[in-house]
Amino acid sequence: MELIDGKKISEQIKEEIATEVNQIKAEGGKVPHLAAILIGHDGGSITYVNHKVADCQHVGFRSSLFHYEDDITEEFLLAKVEEINNDADIDGLIVQLPLPKHINSQKILEAINPQKDVDGFHPANVGRMAVGLPTFLPATPAGIIELIRRYNIETFAKHVVVVGRSNIVGSPVSILLAKNATPGNATVTLCHRYTENLKQYTLQADILIVAVGIPGLITEEMVKEGAVVIDVGTTRVKSDVTKSGFKLKGDVDFEAVAPKCSYITPVPGGVGPLTRMMLLKNTLKSAKKEVYQ
């Protein structure tokens, strides 16, 4: 069993991006600029956005953070998105979710210019991904693909089973791995929490990707010997052994499943660190006009 070290891979990617940005600066090119909008004071959202700002600083990007109270109006937020859309210096815009209940998240995401949608959530970019056009891939699926690539995990003619059908992870990664690409060319089965007899599908998986947010859903008897297991789940559960009283738990029963696997991602330290790096890669692509000419 080999552990897939997302933290190590993310550091490699971060240094690769920093090297490229230094080269761009040396040649007098456009320095990538990422803008983030944060509403309210959700602890997880604040931490995540702060990490993104620090990542930008590390690789030499410019970054702008617009932080507002959670009583702002939808109209104000839409106007701010439009202002950033029209700012030629800003290459990427992320609106940190979740938004307050009185704001329609989908309406806000659709208001973002697809050419600056570095989260890859805009329907235009999802459509481009589905038909194989250059696009900004959603960060977590892109991170999964990157881990598979960098660990030289064979996907050609393999059976990939994805558990979880969200628009952010499960559905996009199932599309990407079925494509005529490398990694790709897999036979993909897409399951979800209501799939009857889930075990009959997971036992067929050469590569099992799980993203449903149900801690410990995948148990030892649901995984075949030698499978690759990629666990996207990160749920805070109570713990007696940590100072905080909580720990992050994945969708896979790691201790029981790991001995059966050829490769497995830990939680934390697996897919998570890659998500932020893919956001940086999308911003760099945008600054270089690689997706939209």
User: Which residue type occupies 141?
Assistant: P
Distance (Å, whole) CA 148 – CA 159: 14
Residue 263 in tokens: 């490769």
From 5, 52, 115, 285, the catalytic residue: 52
Cβ neighbors of 262 (< 8 A, separation 6 or more) are: 1, 2, 226, 227, 228
Is 119 assigned a catalytic role? yes
- From 55, 91, 96, 115, the catalytic residue: 96
CA 198 – CA 26 distance, rounded (Å):
54
Is residue 169 packed enough to be buried (19+ CB in 10 Å), middle (13-18) or exposed (0-12)?
Answer: buried
| Candidate list 119, 206, 231, 253, residue with the active-site label | 119
Q: Give residue 68's identity as a one-letter amino acid code.
A: Y
What is the distance between the alpha carbons of residues 187 and 165, in angstroms, rounded to a whole number?
Answer: 16
* Known active-site residue 96: yes
Which residues are part of the catalytic machinery? Answer: 52, 96, 119
